[in-house]
Amino acid sequence: MRVELKNIGKKYEGRENFTIRGVDLVIEDQEFCVILGPSGCGKSTLLRMIAGLNSITEGELLFDGKLMNKVPPKDRDIAMVFQSYALYPHMSVYENMAFSLAMRKESKKLIDERVREAADVLQISEYLYSKPSDISGGQRQRVALGRAMVRKPKVFLMDEPLSNLDAKLREHMRIELVRLHKSLDTTTIYVTHDQTEAMTMASKIILLDQGKIQQVGKPEEFYNRPENLFVAGFIGSPTMNILKGEIRGGSFQSLDRSLNIKPSQEDYELLKGYENKEVYLGIRSERFLPDKEGSLEVLVEVIEMLGKEKLLYTKLGEHSFIISVPGHSQYEEGKKYKFSPDKGALHFFDGESKERIN
Ligand SMILES: Nc1ncnc2c1ncn2[C@@H]1O[C@H](COP(=O)(O)OP(=O)(O)OP(=O)(O)O)[C@@H](O)[C@H]1O
Ligand SMILES: [Mg+2]
């Protein structure tokens, strides 16, 4: 099912400002779309509006072109999975998963098929006859997912469904959810504040901040071409190195004049209008190239070994840079090394509007 939001806004009663404002969005049929953003930005509010659990203050919500604003949740053909799943404690895992289908008077055969199929995918078959109190939190979370799956809805709405799981299980479930989505092809809208989840699972990411969309696109677009400074700082780990400065004589110069970085010819053309104006320069940690002739001579203060890569926490005068290098390369704390920024990978942002320039 295709989900469309037209200029959607939400103002909670008693609140002075809109929590969500001017959200325009199309989620295509069968897409896996992730709504990402920092805590309190309005992700759950938006999802709950799509579910029908929150009223819509302004704008239109359309499912396959049909206006849904006033349609009650049970008639929307959606299934929602929450972070705080509430399983019926007196029912077995099987009964919990079967519950919604039983309420709809589906046949025992169909219910059994669906429950077993979901349990198999979620690897909880051996707990079907346990009570929720007798299984782990992670297993309970999977029962909650299974409960939504058995209904075969037109849209899955998931609000941070993995956040209670430990890191390993979360990684496993991420892949399982993507596989599940591939086999079911159900439109999925998934809310998280975890950019790794968004980057690894989404076919489309929607990044929200303070109730407004900052960028919509594919994960690689977010990483390679963040549209504004907020997106640049939010996506990527370690965080992108960001410097404030000016364009002087076609080059980027830090405000204290200690750094001079020459852009590529292509960027130079786009920066012509910024002569003597403030801009931000962003460089990802892996875009520093070791270079004996390099213009950036940095002092390595701390080295963090992550396995396949090392993070160098460095200083150049007043400036700090995080530089990533292959895990097997040799660097020592307290020593200086020269690097050149990869010219083809510089991100420039307008000093005032904070929008991307190049
Ligand atoms: N029922 C409510 N009444 C009034 N304000 C609310 C209500 N629910 C949420 N808010 C406010 O709306 C804003 C957005 O909340 P929301 O729960 O949508 O954020 P979120 O992005 O899901 O955050 P988190 O990542 O912490 O779950 C917050 O400032 C919150 O306090
Ligand atoms: Mg939330």
Structural domains of the chain ordered from first start? 3-226 (3.40.50.300), 238-350 (2.40.50.140)
How far is 138 from 19, CA to CA, in rounded Å? 31
Q: Which ligand is nearest to the CA of 82?
A: 2
Structure tokens at 257: 């004049």
pLDDT digits (tens, 9 = 90+) for 225-256: 999 999 999 999 999 999 999 999 999 999 98
**Residue 326, CB-side half-sphere exposure with 13 Å CA sphere:** 5
Closest approach atom of ligand 1 to CA 42:
18
pLDDT digits (tens, 9 = 90+) for 118-173: 999 888 999 999 999 999 877 888 899 899 989 889 999 999 988 878 888 888 88
Going by CA atoms, what residue is nearest to atom 27 of ligand 1? 39
User: What is the overall mean pLDDT for the chain?
Assistant: 94
pLDDT digits (tens, 9 = 90+) for 38-94: 999 999 999 999 999 999 999 999 999 999 999 999 899 999 988 777 899 999 999
Closest approach atom of ligand 1 to CA 47:
18
What's phi and psi for 148, nearest 5 deg? -75, -40
Structure tokens at 298: 């940095």
Going by CA atoms, what residue is nearest to atom 5 of ligand 1? 12
Closest approach atom of ligand 1 to CA 191:
22
- pLDDT tops 90 at residue 266: yes
Pocket residues: Cβ below 6 A from ligand 1 = 12, 15, 19, 37, 39-45, 193
Q: Which ligand is nearest to the CA of 35?
A: 1
Q: C-alpha distances in angstroms, 193 versus 12, 161, 179, 203, 271?
A: 22, 11, 21, 16, 34
The residues, ordered by sequence, that sit 6+ positions from 178 with a Cβ below 8 Å of its Cβ are 32, 200, 201
Going by CA atoms, what residue is nearest to atom 26 of ligand 1? 39
Closest approach atom of ligand 1 to CA 211:
14
